[in-house]
Structure 1
């Protein structure tokens, strides 16, 4: 990492937090949800999921939207459990890396997520590390609060402008190549973290 980099923006799922989207896909399948899978099989390609991540739906509206896709009744708890099934646990060595980098850089979080997941992974972090996830970062950014999702270039511009950062002084780390390619358009340096990559080795 060059001396020109003063700021680092991390994605969450697949980077700092272990996720397995197939667990949620299977859980919704057990509730009777048809397969509405995005190309590549990572997640769902349906407005109810995409709009939830863009903050266009309340939790109640999201659950009702899911219920309309199901062939039988499902409780709020059933839906929340299926939706959060993908969230596993944190990479402890990567959390420690973020702590160390925060001593020398301004560190941020930017995640495509939703209110139900935010509550779940914050509780998980607090339970695991006995302090708030937000304490790791200068600021954490969530698509549902911003009203815009990655990979829209405007989402990266929002973060840079809100945080007062220069693209050429900022490194963005994500496990989605599509997100990384969009981030490059703002002038940021990037790391595309593949399943075979060792995040610590980049630093």
Structure 2
């Protein structure tokens, strides 16, 4: 029986507005992501470069944009966090060991915390035994080591652990390591449907 759940964050709990962010960057003259920016994003999410180094990577492609404009466009991806998901998570936290594992960066986390406020994000973090941000760990999904690190550190049984993520390459790796997985389909499923989808006992 499942006794532990590892959750992703973006598009599982907080809604992401990816198309909106792309549109905001287009207004600044950037015609979508490119290999250079994706590589810098990878480094930033692993904590290998600073916030300023990351923002400066955009200036090579949109030199007329300001740091403030770039930061605002980058943060425009952060959408709302429906209260019913927090309430559901609070229900779960009394019945399961919960962990958060997300590929993210310091700019987005600061924006999230500012947007929802201390009371909300404190209630959210309190639901988890441990919150894991990729930029603090120095690695990111779908690297197998990021999963193995959490499994080892918390002595988790893969047979009794469920991993929930909206990206199939992440759930595929987790499944190959022996975890149960739910590849949540954004727009079609909601994390609050967990018991319906995975038939977990309340």
Tell me the distance in 2 between the aligned counterparts of 1:183 and 1:153.
7
Tell me the distance in 1 between the aligned counterparts of 2:165 and 2:128.
16
Residue 139 of structure 1 is aligned with which of 130, 146, 160?
130
Quote how far apart the aligned CAs of 1:45 are.
6.0
Q: After the TM superposition, which of the residue ranges 176-185 and 119-128 deviates more from structure 2?
A: 119-128
Residue 66 of structure 1 is aligned with which of 55, 58, 63?
58
Normalised to the residue count of structure 2, the TM-score between the two structures is 0.88
Q: After the TM superposition, which of the residue ranges 8-17 and 62-71 deviates more from structure 2?
A: 62-71
* Aligned 8 A contact 2:13 2:191 in 1: no
Superposition CA RMSD, Å: 1.9
Quote how far apart the aligned CAs of 1:132 are.
4.8
Residue 84 of structure 1 is aligned with which of 72, 75, 91?
75
Quote how far apart the aligned CAs of 1:186 are.
1.7
Matched, 1:105 2:96: yes
Q: What's the counterpart of residue 177 of structure 1? A: 168
Tell me the distance in 1 between the aligned counterparts of 2:166 and 2:106.
21
What count of residue pairs does the alignment treat as equivalent?
194
Quote how far apart the aligned CAs of 1:97 are.
1.2
Q: What's the counterpart of residue 199 of structure 1? A: 191
Quote how far apart the aligned CAs of 1:128 are.
7.0
Cα offsets for 1:121-141 (capped at 9, x unmatched): 122232573735322211110
Quote how far apart the aligned CAs of 1:201 are.
2.7
Tell me the distance in 1 between the aligned counterparts of 2:149 and 2:37.
24
Cα offsets for 1:61-107 (capped at 9, x unmatched): 111111112142x2222111111101011022121111111001111
SS of alignment partner, residue 80 of structure 2: strand
* Aligned 8 A contact 2:144 2:174 in 1: yes
* Aligned 8 A contact 1:109 1:141 in 2: yes
Q: After the TM superposition, which of the residue ranges 114-123 and 192-201 deviates more from structure 2?
A: 192-201
Tell me the distance in 2 between the aligned counterparts of 1:150 and 1:144.
11
* Aligned 8 A contact 2:113 2:121 in 1: no
Tell me the distance in 2 between the aligned counterparts of 1:33 and 1:125.
29
Tell me the distance in 2 between the aligned counterparts of 1:154 and 1:180.
14
Return structure 1 stretches of 4+ with deviation > 3 angstroms: 130-133
Cα offsets for 1:166-189 (capped at 9, x unmatched): 211111111111111111122111
- What are structure 1's unaligned runs of at least 5 residues? 39-43
Quote how far apart the aligned CAs of 1:46 are.
2.0
Quote how far apart the aligned CAs of 1:52 are.
0.9
Normalised to the residue count of structure 1, the TM-score between the two structures is 0.88
SS of alignment partner, residue 90 of structure 1: coil
